Structure 1
Amino acid sequence: MKISEIKERKVIHRPTLDFDRYGKRIYHAYEYYLQYNPGFKGNETQRLFAKWFDMALFSALFYYLFHENILISIGLSIPAVIISGAITESYFGTTPGKKIFRMKVIDDEGKYPAFIHSLKRNFLCLANLFPIFTEYRSRTTIGHNTGIQMNFRMYLNNKICTTYVVKESKMEEIRSLLDVEQPRNNNQIDS
């Protein structure tokens, strides 16, 4: 079984127009099997900071150890992060930056990605660094406040390579779900 095939059981209670003899509303329960999401909230921000940490590590290495110009050090850190990220993700499932945030990279089978797969994933992370600017509007006590917000697409390389960035604490749950056979039908339950 693969992570992309795992379904998660959700029961949704929807109110009806009927009431029971005690005056309590009657609800219908609908059971759904939705796609399992191994990710976590805020992973885009943590992944971005982890990538910046890895780049800062290599920039400092090139600057202090090899006495390169700071701009050249930053430029050299990009391919270094891509190659070292591919190596460390294929062996350990993480990079130094991801280790700080306790994140692991796994493929669709729950294993660490192969080197070539991880190299492709890390090369595609360059597309993640280009921001998207969106307009937002918030309400204040005086009226409305509008502004521009910068977002990063930190999911693109994972989507293309079918990999997942998960918390280390969730690895046990994912591996146990991969061993369990998933149900295939949707049923309606009345309560």
Structure 2
Amino acid sequence: MRISELKVHRIIHRPSRITDKHGRRIFEEYEYDFKYNPYFKNSETQRLFAKIIDILPCILILLYFFNLTILKSLLSATALVIMYGTISEAIFGKTLGKKIFKLIVIDDFANTPSLSTSLKRNILCLINLFPTFTEGQDRAGVWGISMNFNMYLNNKFAKTYIVKEKMLKEIEEMLEKQIKQKQ
């Protein structure tokens, strides 16, 4: 069973417009399955700051101890963070930045990604640096263009997910339950 195949079964009791003879509303029960959504509120912001926490020490060390220029430090630090992230995520499922924000990288089976999958997602993280521009209206009604960084494209291509650590147990239990139901 994969996370992408995981379905969540929900039962909702909603009041109907029909009432009983005493004027009390009769509740209707709805049952349905929907695809599990592993994403959480502010995930992109937390992931961006986790990446900054991972890369900033590398840049500073290369700048001050190796006397590289800012551009060379940035490029070298990017390569180092890709290697560090690949190894760290394959072994532990997280980097230092992700550990601070209590995030974990999992594959479609809720395991830490393999070394090749982790390398793929870390190389593809460079496409997250290209912003998307959207036109819209803010709360005050003013139209403008906003710039957004989509921090999920590398996960989409590598078939991985970044979830909160507390969600992992729930996901594993749901996967186990779905596997038992299929048997």
Stretches of structure 2 that go unaligned for 5 or more consecutive residues are none
Q: Pick which of 85-94 and 12-21 moved more.
A: 12-21
Q: Deviations over 1:83-123 (max 9, x none)?
A: 11111000111011111111110111111111111100111
Counterpart position of 1:102 = 102
Which residue does the alignment assign to 2:88?
88
Q: How has the CA–CA distance of structure 1 residues 136 and 67 changed in structure 2, closer, same or farther, with 3 Å as cutoff?
A: same
Deviation at 1:40, TM superposition (A): 1.6
The within-5 A match list for 1:15-54 is: 16-54=16-54
Structure 1 vs Structure 2 CA RMSD: 1.9
Aligned to 1:76: 76
Amino acid in the other structure paired with 1:121: R
Of Structure 1 and Structure 2, the greater helix share is in: 2
C-alpha distance after superposition, 1:1-41 (max 9, x if no partner)? 22222211122445544322222333432211111122221
For 1:129, the equivalent position in structure 2 comes to 129
How does the TM-score come out when normalised to structure 2? 0.89
Q: TM-score, normalised by structure 1?
A: 0.85
1 or 2 for the larger relative contact order (CA 8 Å, sep ≥6)?
Answer: 1
Percent of pairs with identical residues: 49
Give the match for residue 177 of structure 2.
180
Equivalent in the alignment of 1:152? 149
Other-structure match for 1:187: none
| C-alpha distance after superposition, 1:141-173 (max 9, x if no partner) | xxx322222211111111121111011122222
Which piece of structure 1 moves more, 97-106 or 147-156?
A: 147-156
Structure 1 unpaired stretches of 5+:
185-191
Deviates more, 1:16-25 or 1:101-110: 16-25
Q: Which secondary structure state, in structure 1, belongs to the residue aligned with residue 28 of structure 2?
A: strand
Look up the match of 2:119.
Answer: 119
Amino acid at match of 1:157: N
Shift of 1:176: 2.0
Give the total of aligned pairs.
Answer: 181
Deviation at 1:73, TM superposition (A): 0.4
Tell me, in whole angstroms, the C-alpha distance in 1 between the residues paired with 2:50 and 2:138. Answer: 30
